[in-house]
């Protein structure tokens, strides 16, 4: 039973999550469960409103519940690793290893191989990292893990830039976004159009058993996808959009709202794929123009002002329309 | 059991006897035969309880090893040259995390220019990463050192590189004695990790450490290597007792007790050196040699003891500190701190250039007469060098240096003697 | 496996020490390739290429006029040449009997390989011939080495080639010796 078979759908408005109180206990989210492991414990040093902390907590607790707490996590260098393990403390209540920036997928392959060698088939492995560690420097190892179909779930927390080092551009940075290395100056302000890497599609090209995109605006959907992923053996990839208030220039309390706007504009489609083919998608309830999503973010401030950059905004809109068509998001 | 087999094969058999649980491999000449041998053993079932993983790069290879080792299993990989550099970040990481990975280095030169033949520049590039580095003189020793390496690595929680000369040892057929499983099991017990990723007892490995504790962490890794100075001879002695032959240890001396001239070197060239020492001894020369097996930790005290009464020391190195001269020489000089004698550095065998008996004889005779420069490049073709220098002073666009030299030498890319 | 390697195994089976290794020159298809083998009754410590061989096995006769093959070969050194032609036909008879007194012998090793193995792999035959003219290893050891290192059906065929080569070389030696007397 996959996420698409959920009997209960929750539609979130504003930034308020619909409560679990109306549901029977066994229908509540993992986070509502008293037995959740709280794998990423409080006390970490993430920024207010950090999308990644939110996403990681939901994802890892879901994975722990799905595996009866038999989980090992491998973390790439990045915000999550840095804010969760400030010496001499750690927020992680699960076995966790951080090796390097670009090798999380390979280290995870090694951990998984060790479990096989030890005959511990019930212990599962998650590799996780930000977009930088996944789409750029970790790309080779990621592809290797996919190609071998190693039994690893890789979770990418995508905040669309190298945030930990001061907001530099990555291959996940969207066009027109301002970063420290794609400043909003000159004839083509912000990140250049026509660049960028769609890792979920690349994961699909490897024909791995399961690929999914998720967003911190749809937390139950996120939990369900991770839970489902843990029922499958082999290489799996979940790509989660996690707004970064600091890097995106948004208010900390607007993280979930912004993530929802990304989904509802069509810029971040929510879908699942099995062995290289899209098998389900979450339709857009109420489409919003991309400007509604871009305007609250200071990283796109240069597109708005006395004379809005209608040409670039239109190009972004075209990208959204293309996604809507591709994934039939309005059908 | 005595066998006549390729050095790589002998090493593969030794690794298999150590009951590795995860082996990961990326091909690079000249170590490939080792991992191919192991891969075959795993696939055929001859080596059971072991996962063999084909990875997409050397960086991935050592990263997979890091994951496996941290998860509590005995782990092995191998590389050479460019591959070792490609995994450099992971090399430091493995040492910093204290993971007892054993890795074979099939010593090979580092480019540019690309060169597949033997020298020590690869392992030397990682000498300060925190790994223990052991150099094998023969294929028998290469085989034996791997068994000692796992034991050493696991007792100290420190990764170990076993270095063996590419082609000269890896691709040579030699007579070796391969121990039996029982003997190895008695010497090398099950791996008991100091740290392990285990859901039953969670830990966080790889935390960030700031100025308040970094010095202490690094000091402890230094201290670990200093402890290895005691442990390495102990394990070698135990090995000798159990297997009946001397292998490993910190250094090995040859006819050096009353020697006026002592030659110091690492690896297989020591065999040739010993032949020349014997020749010269029978002609009345007071010459001897020292083979350094443990390069990290560097055996300062035993070297000092072995060299202190000599008149002169010739350090023969298959590596180069570009712009400075010797690498091994630095360590040797340090061991002789306060002692005055003539020290000579000889850079030899780079990129697989053969080191011949004849050349060594002439070299040692020059040394005996103290007619050597501080730094000598053995058998350097002075004509080729001066021709290139002249070209460069006469024109700006001189093209790639390597190509120019090769053209001058003719179609045969390397000369033997 | 190279001929040098099989030879080293043959020597090993006789209880001797042997070291076989490839040359360190360019290794690519079409380039001259060398392999070396040292045999001794004590441990071999030397790690240099063989510069002064006691015996030379020339697998590819076209190299005769391209590379200085005989460099370092001492007087009365053995030379085994893979060729269907005789020394006379190759124009080498005079050379062999010349100042160096090389003990040269030709052997149609490729043809023997084609006959028994069906492929142009002259190593086994050359080793059979080598055993005959030098006596450094016995034919039985060469046979045992081949049997050990190759799967049974292939080993058998190579052994047959080696055995015939041994006989051919032995007879050719007798003729040469008779002529010399």
Distance from CA of C25 to the nearest CA of B (A): 6
Q: Within an 8 Å CB–CB cutoff, is residue B23 touching chain A?
A: no
Answer yes or no: do B22 and A106 touch at CB < 8 A: no
Other beta carbons within 10 Å of A116: 19
Of A221, A265, A217, the C-alpha closest to A241 is A217
What is the spatial distance between Cα B341 and Cα A37, in angstroms, rounded to a whole number?
A: 67
Pick from B175, B277, B318, B360 the residue to mutate for testing the C interface (most C CBs within 10 Å): B175
Asked if the C-beta of B410 comes within 8 angstroms of chain C's C-beta atoms, the answer is no
| A218 exposure class (CB count in 10 Å sphere: 0-12, 13-18, 19+) | buried
Strands B251-254 and B287-292: antiparallel
First to last CA, chain A: 23
Chain A residue numbers with beta carbons less than 8 Å from the beta carbon of B21 are 114, 117-118
Please report which confidence band the pLDDT of residue C64 belongs to, taking 50, 70 and 90 as the band edges.
Answer: confident
Cβ <8 Å between B356 and C51 = yes
Q: What is the pLDDT of residue B332?
A: 97
Half-sphere exposure of A78 (CA within 13 A, CB side): 33
- Report chain C's C-alpha Rg in angstroms: 16
Smallest Cβ–Cβ distance between C49 and the set B270, B354, B413 belongs to B354
C75 touches chain B (CB under 8 A): no
Q: Which chains form contacts with chain B, at 3 or more CB pairs under 8 Å?
A: A, C
pLDDT at C179: 67
Nearest CB neighbour to B207, from listed A87, A112, A117? A87
Eight-class DSSP state of A284? P
Instruction: Give the H/E segment covering residue B131.
Output: none
Q: Which residues contact C62 (CB under 8 A, 6 or more apart)?
A: none
Chain A and chain B touch, per 3+ beta carbon pairs within 8 A: yes
Per-residue pLDDT of chain B (417 residues), as tens digits, is: 999 999 999 999 999 999 999 999 899 999 999 999 999 999 999 999 999 999 999 999 999 999 999 999 999 999 999 999 999 999 999 999 999 999 999 999 999 999 999 999 999 999 999 999 999 999 999 999 999 999 999 999 999 999 999 999 999 999 999 999 999 999 999 999 999 999 999 999 999 898 999 999 999 999 999 999 999 999 999 999 999 999 999 999 999 999 999 999 999 999 999 999 999 999 999 999 999 999 999 999 999 999 999 999 999 999 999 999 999 999 999 999 999 999 999 999 999 999 999 999 999 999 999 999 999 999 999 999 999 999 999 999 988 998 888 888 875 444 433
Q: How large is the average pLDDT for residues A16-34? A: 76
User: How many residues appear in chain A?
Assistant: 331
* Chains C and A touching, counted as 3 or more CB pairs less than 8 Å apart: no
Cβ–Cβ contact C51 with B under 8 A: yes
CA distances from A277 to A3, A135, A201, B75, B339 (A): 16, 21, 10, 37, 74
Helix axes B58-70, A139-148, angle to 10 degrees: 70
Q: Are C25 and B174 a contacting pair at CB < 8 A? A: no
Cβ-Cβ contacts under 8 Å, A93 against chain B: 202
* Chains B and C, touching by 3 or more CB pairs within 8 angstroms: yes
Q: How many CB pairs under 8 A join B and C?
A: 75
- Asked if the C-beta of B275 comes within 8 angstroms of chain A's C-beta atoms, the answer is no
Query: What pLDDT does B412 receive?
Result: 45
Report the alpha-carbon distance of residue C126 to residue C79 in Å, rounded.
Answer: 11
Coil, strand, or helix at residue A232? coil
Whether residue B109 contacts residue B156, with contact meaning beta carbons closer than 8 Å, is answered with: no
Asked whether the beta carbons of residue B168 and residue C26 sit closer than 8 angstroms, the reply is no
Residues of B in contact with A151 (CB under 8 A): none
SS3 B291: strand
Cβ-based contacts of B87 with chain A (< 8 Å): none
Buried b (16+ CB within 10 A) or exposed e, C100-112: bebbbbbbbbbbb
pLDDT for position B213 = 92
In this prediction the pTM is: 0.93
* CA atoms lying within 13 Å on the CB side of residue C81: 26
pLDDT digits (tens, 9 = 90+) for A284-330: 999 999 999 999 999 999 999 889 999 999 999 999 999 999 999 99
The closest CB to that of B73, out of A86, A117, A141, belongs to A117
**Total residues belonging to chain C:** 181
Q: Please indicate whether, in this complex, the C-beta atoms of C18 and B173 are within 8 angstroms of each other.
A: yes
What is the C-alpha separation between B239 and B229, in angstroms, rounded?
16
d(CA B90, CA B100): 13
* Calculated CA dihedral for residues B179, B181, B185, B190, nearest 10 degrees: 130
Chain A residues with CB under 8 Å of B217 CB are none
CA angle A3–A241–B55, rounded 5-degree value: 85
Residues C21, C27, C29, C33, Cα dihedral to 10°? -50
In terms of Cα–Cα distance, which of B228, B229, B249 is closest to B239? B249
B220: distance to nearest CA of chain A, Å?
17
- Spatial CB neighbours of B333, under 8 Å, sequence gap ≥ 6: B343
Least Cα separation, residue B389 to chain A (angstroms):
41
Query: Between B24, B89, B205, which is nearest A96 by CB?
Result: B205
Q: What is the pLDDT of residue C61?
A: 85
Contacting chains of C (3 CB pairs or more, <8 Å) are B
Contacts of B50 in chain A (CB under 8 A): 117
**Nearest CB to C48 within list B4, B174, B272:** B272
User: HEC string of chain C?
Assistant: CCHHHHHHHHHHHCCCEEEEEECCCCCCCCCCCCEEEEEECCCCCCCCCCCCCCEEEECCHHHHHCCCCCCCCCCCCEEEEECCCCHHHHCCHHHHHCCCCCEEEEECHHHHHHHHCCCCCCHHHHHHHHHHHHCCCCHHHHHHHHHHHCCHHHHHHHHHHHHHHHHHHHHHHHHHHHHHC
Q: N- to C-terminal Cα distance for chain B?
A: 36
Cα–Cα distance, B80 to B139 (Å, whole number): 17
* Chain B from 124 to 163: CB within 8 A of any A CB: none
Q: Would you say residue A10 has pLDDT above 70?
A: no
Residue of B nearest to A143 (CA): B56
What count of Cα atoms within 13 Å lies in the side-chain half-sphere of residue A165?
Answer: 16
Q: What is the pLDDT of residue A6?
A: 59
Task: Give how far A61 is from chain B: nearest CA, Å.
Answer: 14
Rounded CA separation C157/C116 (Å): 5
In this predicted structure, what is the pLDDT of residue B414? 40
Write out pLDDT tens, residues A125-176.
999 999 999 999 999 999 999 999 999 999 999 999 999 999 999 999 999 9
Cβ <8 Å between B60 and A81: no
pLDDT band for A16, please (50, 70, 90 cuts): very low
User: In angstroms, what CA-CA distances link C124 with C55, C130, C134, C160?
Assistant: 16, 10, 15, 9
CB contact B88 to A (< 8 Å): no
Which residue from B243, B263, B269 is spatially nearest to B348, judged by alpha carbons?
B269
Q: Which residue has the higher pLDDT, A161 or A28?
A: A161
Which positions ≥6 away from C151 have C-beta within 8 Å?
Answer: none
Answer yes or no: do C18 and B6 touch at CB < 8 A: no
pLDDT at A17 over 60: no
Q: Which residues of B touch A111 (CB under 8 A)?
A: 67-68, 70-71, 197
Instruction: Supply the pLDDT for residue C157.
Output: 96
pLDDT per residue over A198-240, tens digit each? Answer: 999 999 999 999 999 999 999 999 999 999 999 999 999 999 9
- Four-point Cα dihedral B97, B99, B105, B108, nearest 10: -10
Which of A70, A72, A103 is closest, CB to CB, to B60? A103
Tell me how crowded residue A194 is: count the other CB atoms within 10 A of its CB.
7
- Which chain A residues are Cβ-neighbours of B56 within 8 angstroms? 140-141, 143-144, 147
The pLDDT assigned to A15 comes to: 45
Q: Which residues of C touch B354 (CB under 8 A)?
A: 24, 48-49
């Amino acid at each position: 039973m996959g996420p698409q078979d959920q009997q209960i759908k929750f539609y979130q408005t504003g930034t308020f999550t619909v409560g679990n109180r109306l549901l029977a206990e066994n229908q509540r989210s993992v986070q509502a469960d008293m037995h959740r492991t709280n794998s990423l414990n409080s006390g970490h040093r993430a920024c207010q409103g950090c999308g990644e902390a939110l996403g990681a907590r939901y994802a890892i607790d879901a994975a722990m519940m799905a595996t009866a707490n038999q989980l090992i996590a491998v973390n790439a260098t990045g915000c999550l690793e840095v804010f969760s393990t400030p010496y001499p403390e750690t927020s992680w209540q699960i076995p966790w290893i951080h090796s390097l920036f670009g090798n999380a997928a390979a280290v995870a392959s090694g951990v998984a191989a060790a479990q096989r060698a030890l005959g511990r088939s019930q212990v599962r492995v998650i590799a996780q990292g930000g977009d930088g560690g996944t789409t750029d420097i970790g790309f080779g190892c990621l592809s290797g893990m996919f190609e071998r179909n190693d039994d690893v779930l890789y979770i990418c927390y995508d905040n669309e830039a190298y945030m930990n080092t001061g907001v530099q551009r990555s291959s996940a940075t969207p066009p027109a976004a301002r970063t420290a290395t794609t400043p909003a100056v000159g004839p083509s302000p912000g990140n250049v159009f026509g660049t960028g890497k769609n890792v979920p599609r690349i994961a699909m090209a490897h024909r791995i058993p399961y690929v999914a995109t998720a967003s911190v605006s749809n937390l139950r959907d996120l939990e369900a996808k991770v839970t489902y992923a843990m029922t499958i053996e082999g290489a799996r990839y979940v790509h989660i959009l996690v707004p970064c208030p600091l890097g995106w220039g948004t208010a900390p309390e607007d993280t979930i709202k912004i993530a929802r706007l990304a989904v509802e504009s069509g810029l971040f489609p929510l879908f699942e794929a099995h062995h290289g083919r899209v098998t389900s998608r979450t339709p857009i309830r109420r489409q919003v123009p991309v400007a509604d999503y871009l305007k609250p973010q200071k990283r796109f401030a240069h597109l708005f002002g006395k004379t809005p950059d209608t040409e670039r905004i239109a190009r972004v809109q075209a990208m959204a329309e293309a996604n809507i068509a591709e994934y039939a998001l309005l059908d | 059991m005595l066998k006549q087999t390729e050095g790589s094969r002998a090493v593969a058999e030794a690794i298999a006897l150590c009951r590795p649980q995860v082996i990961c491999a990326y091909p690079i000449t000249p170590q490939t035969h080792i991992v191919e041998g192991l891969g075959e053993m795993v696939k055929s079932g001859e080596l059971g309880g072991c996962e063999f993983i084909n990875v997409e790069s050397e960086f991935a290879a050592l990263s997979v090893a890091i994951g496996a080792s941290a998860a509590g299993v005995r782990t092995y990989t191998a590389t050479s040259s460019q591959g070792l550099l490609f995994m450099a970040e992971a090399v430091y990481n493995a040492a910093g995390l204290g993971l007892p990975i054993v890795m074979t280095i099939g010593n090979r030169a580092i480019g540019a220019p690309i060169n597949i033949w033997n020298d020590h520049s690869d392992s030397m590039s990682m000498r300060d990463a925190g790994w223990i580095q052991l150099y094998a003189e023969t294929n028998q020793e290469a085989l034996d050192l791997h068994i000692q390496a796992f034991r050493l690595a696991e007792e100290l929680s420190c990764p170990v590189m076993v270095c063996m000369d590419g082609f000269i040892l890896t691709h040579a057929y030699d007579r070796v004695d391969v121990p039996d499983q029982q003997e190895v099991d008695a010497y090398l017990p099950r791996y008991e990790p100091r740290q392990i990723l285990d859901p039953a007892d969670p830990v966080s490995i790889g935390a960030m450490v700031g100025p308040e504790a970094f010095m202490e962490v690094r000091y402890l890794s230094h201290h670990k290597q200093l402890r290895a100075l005691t442990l390495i001879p102990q394990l070698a002695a135990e090995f000798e007792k159990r297997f009946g032959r001397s292998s490993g240890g910190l250094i090995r001396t040859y006819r050096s007790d009353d020697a006026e001239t002592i030659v110091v070197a690492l690896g297989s060239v020591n065999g040739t050196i010993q032949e020349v020492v014997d020749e010269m001894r029978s002609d009345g020369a007071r010459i001897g040699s020292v083979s350094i097996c443990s390069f990290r930790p560097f055996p300062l005290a035993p070297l000092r003891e072995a060299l202190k009464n000599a008149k002169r020391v010739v350090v023969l190195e298959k590596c180069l500190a570009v712009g400075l001269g010797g690498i091994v020489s630095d360590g040797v000089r340090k061991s002789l701190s306060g002692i005055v004698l003539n020290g000579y550095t000889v850079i030899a065998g780079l990129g697989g250039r053969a080191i011949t008996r004849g050349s060594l004889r002439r070299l040692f005779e020059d040394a005996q007469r103290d007619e050597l420069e501080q730094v000598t490049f053995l058998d350097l073709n002075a004509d080729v060098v001066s021709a290139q220098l002249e070209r460069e002073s006469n024109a700006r666009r001189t093209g790639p240096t390597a190509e120019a030299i090769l053209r001058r030498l003719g179609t045969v890319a390397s000369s033997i003697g | 496996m190279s001929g040098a390697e099989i030879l080293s195994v043959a020597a090993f089976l006789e209880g001797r020490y042997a070291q076989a290794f490839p040359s360190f020159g360019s290794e690519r298809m079409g380039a001259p390739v060398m392999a070396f083998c040292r045999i001794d009754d004590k441990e071999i410590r030397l790690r240099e290429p063989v510069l002064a061989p006691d015996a030379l096995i020339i697998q590819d006769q076209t190299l005769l006029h391209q590379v200085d093959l005989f460099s370092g070969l001492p007087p009365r050194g053995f030379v085994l040449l893979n060729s269907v032609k005789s020394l006379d036909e190759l124009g080498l008879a005079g050379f062999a009997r010349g100042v160096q007194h090389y003990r040269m012998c030709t052997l149609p090793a490729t043809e023997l390989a084609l006959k028994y193995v069906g492929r142009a792999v002259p190593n086994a035959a050359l080793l059979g011939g080598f055993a005959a003219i030098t006596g450094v290893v016995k034919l039985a050891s060469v046979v045992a080495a081949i049997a050990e290192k190759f799967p049974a059906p292939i080993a058998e065929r190579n052994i047959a080639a080696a055995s015939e080569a041994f006989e051919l070389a032995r007879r050719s030696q007798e003729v040469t010796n008779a002529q010399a007397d």
